Amino acid sequence: MKSRIVDLDENQGLFFEGDVEEETAVLNLKKEERHVVTRSTDPEIESLYGKHKRGKLILEPDFQRRFVWDKLKASRLIESALLNVPLPIIYLAEEADGRESVIDGQQRLTSFFSFMDGKFPNGETFRLTGMKVFEELEKKTYKEINENLQDKIRYYQIRAITILNTSDANLKFEIFERLNRGAVSLNNMELRNCLYQGEYMAFLKQLARDPEFMHILNIKEPDSRMRDIELVLRFAAFFHTSHLNYKPPMNAFLNADARKYRYISKEDADRLKSAFKNGLQIAKSLFGDLAFQRLHMGTSSKPDGFWGNKAVNSSIYDAFMAIFCQLEKNRVYAALDSLREALMDLMATNPEFLDAISSGTSDEARVKRRYRIALSTIDNVLQDYAQQPRCFSQKLKIELFNNNPICAICGNQIKLVDDAALDHIHQYWQGGQTIPENARLTHRYCNLSRPRSRLGK
């Protein structure tokens, strides 16, 4: 699969680059584990409404799925109930504490409850509109229709299937995924949030609202589809399990972490938060709001490179955050310029690393390979930094770029300072020193592709 940049939400600024994997876990369950326990009932709308008001029915399990039906569609539903037209089944999930979450049917139940409340979730008065049969009810509210019609709404029965808490957790997730394959289907993180509600989900949402994290992701408010929270969960899963113990598919790997830490202890939460913050601070110091984007190198026909256009590469994020969270900040800051150059070069030029972040990214071998290569790159910089520097400073590169942004090899203008490389005129391995007098500015591509003679070009 070729690397691609995908806009996952035209109303949000959070994008992903490369494989965007909404895969369904392949379930390798024993026959005796393949069971789902359900309960079928025909509750009246008033019963469901009462449970919702008492907090026993979770209509919107905080997965940002707002009420999206318009007034006409909600009014038509009310008219269908008045006509006693059968409506589609709603699906609920039983929680450990006995509460029930709405998995499929939220828009229908929200319409019923809003009509009985007299207003939509946004506060607008719910007046019936577009009525085809009960034309006399046009522009009427629930309180303005007669009591017999109110009773038809209140006592309308709808088939409900509840997936009980004793069902296998993996199969529950599979069922939820299948139920939500419609036009407004939930993504895996939204399903996960619904299935594993508890302290952990609330804590992950808290971490996703970290100002540094939001700055790096180039978002000003929480992502409407919980993709920011899924990134936090990815970090947490690798932090808890490590890349060495990763087993695909990624979806099942994340589900397992959400399930295991559903009721996370304060000690575990504090440890995770500290590691997350440490990783973010190092990432921001190295790359600012370009962190977790990929630097693309130029080509022979177009030597100019470019960053990922605000697209987060989740594979880069996984590998870098897993390493950054364990590093001492002071040690990193002492080698900041060298480390930044090494990691940019890794993203732009290392074929093994590029393969591991571009396709089949949840494959076990690629997950471990990108972590191993990134760790080796970082270790090499940090352990050698006490010796003579092998990398020119960022300050010098910016000075040369501002003074004359022309590639010393191809003679064309360099458009992006991060795409520039400072090359030793007299090569380092031939005794050349890392000093301003021995530096020249080139495209990163041109520097990589040049003949390796004593004088460079």
- Residue 191 belongs to a domain: yes
Residues 344 and 418 both lie in one domain: no
Residues 50 and 156 both lie in one domain: yes
With 70 as the cut, is the pLDDT of residue 302 above it?
yes
Maximum average pLDDT range among 19-23, 160-164, 305-309, 452-456 = 160-164
Residues 70 and 213 both lie in one domain: no
Residues 398 and 376 both lie in one domain: no
Res 2: pLDDT: 38
CB 374 within 8 A of CB 345: no
Residues 161 and 264 both lie in one domain: no
3-state secondary structure the chain: CCCCEECCCCCCCCEEECCCCCCCCCCCCCHHHCCCCEEEECCEHHHHHHHHHCCCEECCCCCCCCCCCCHHHHHHHHHHHHCCCCCCCEEEEECCCCCEEEEECHHHHHHHHHHHHCECCCCCECCCCCCCCCHHHCCCCHHHCCHHHHHHHHCCECCEEEECCCCCHHHHHHHHHHHCCCCCCCCHHHHHHHHCCCHHHHHHHHHHCCHHHHHHHCCCCCCCCCHHHHHHHHHHHHHHHCHHHCCCCHHHHHHHHHHHCCCCCHHHHHHHHHHHHHHHHHHHHHHHHHCCCCCECCCCCCCCCECCCCEECHHHHHHHHHHHCCCCHHHHHHCHHHHHHHHHHHHHHCHHHHHHHHCCCCCHHHHHHHHHHHHHHHHHHHHHCCCCCCCCCHHHHHHHHHHCCECCCCCCECCCHHHEEEEECCCHHHCCCCCHHHEEEEEHHHHHHCCCECCEC
Domain boundary among 166, 195, 225: 166
The number of distinct structural domains making up the chain is 3
**How is residue 124 written in tokens?**
């607008």
Residues 130 and 190 both lie in one domain: no
- Residue 408 belongs to a domain: yes
Mean pLDDT to the nearest integer, 36-40: 86
- Residue 176 belongs to a domain: no
Residues 229 and 337 both lie in one domain: yes
Mean pLDDT to the nearest integer, 201-229: 94
Per-residue pLDDT tens over the stretch 357-405: 999 999 999 999 999 999 999 999 998 665 445 578 888 999 999 999 9
**How is residue 272 written in tokens?**
């995770």
What residue numbers bound the domain in which 345 lies? Answer: 5-21+185-282+307-381
Integer Rg of the chain from CA: 28
Residues 275 and 364 both lie in one domain: yes
Vertex 424: Cα angle to 438 and 304 (nearest 5): 120
Maximum average pLDDT range among 332-346, 376-390, 432-446 = 332-346
Res 393: pLDDT: 84
Residue 371 CA: distances (Å) to CA of 31, 60, 169, 299, 311: 36, 38, 30, 26, 20
Q: What is the mean pLDDT of the chain?
A: 86
With bands split at pLDDT 50, 70 and 90, how would you rate the model's confidence at 208? very high
With bands split at pLDDT 50, 70 and 90, how would you rate the model's confidence at 6? very low
With bands split at pLDDT 50, 70 and 90, how would you rate the model's confidence at 318? very high
- Residue 317 belongs to a domain: yes
- Residue 217 belongs to a domain: yes
Per-residue pLDDT tens over the stretch 216-229: 999 999 998 899 99
With 50 as the cut, is the pLDDT of residue 123 above it?
yes
Per-residue pLDDT tens over the stretch 246-286: 999 999 999 999 999 999 999 999 999 999 999 999 999 99
With 70 as the cut, is the pLDDT of residue 21 above it?
no
C-alpha closest to that of 434 among 385, 397, 400, 390: 390
With 90 as the cut, is the pLDDT of residue 34 above it?
no
Domain boundary among 332, 359, 381: 381
- Residues of the chain above pLDDT 70, percent: 86
Residues 193 and 322 both lie in one domain: yes
Q: Give the separation between CA 92 and CA 102, rounded to whole angstroms.
A: 5
- Residues of the chain above pLDDT 90, percent: 62
Mean pLDDT to the nearest integer, 225-244: 96
Residues 231 and 349 both lie in one domain: yes
Residues 325 and 432 both lie in one domain: no
With 70 as the cut, is the pLDDT of residue 75 above it?
yes
Res 457: pLDDT: 41
- Residue 225 belongs to a domain: yes
- Residue 27 belongs to a domain: no
- Residue 85 belongs to a domain: yes
Mean pLDDT to the nearest integer, 183-210: 84
Domain boundary among 359, 381, 403: 381
CB 91 within 8 A of CB 105: yes
Of 278-287, 400-409, 426-435, the poorest mean pLDDT is in 426-435
Higher per-residue confidence, 403 vs 8: 403
Higher per-residue confidence, 364 vs 185: 364
Residues 124 and 217 both lie in one domain: no
Higher per-residue confidence, 5 vs 47: 47
With bands split at pLDDT 50, 70 and 90, how would you rate the model's confidence at 316? very high
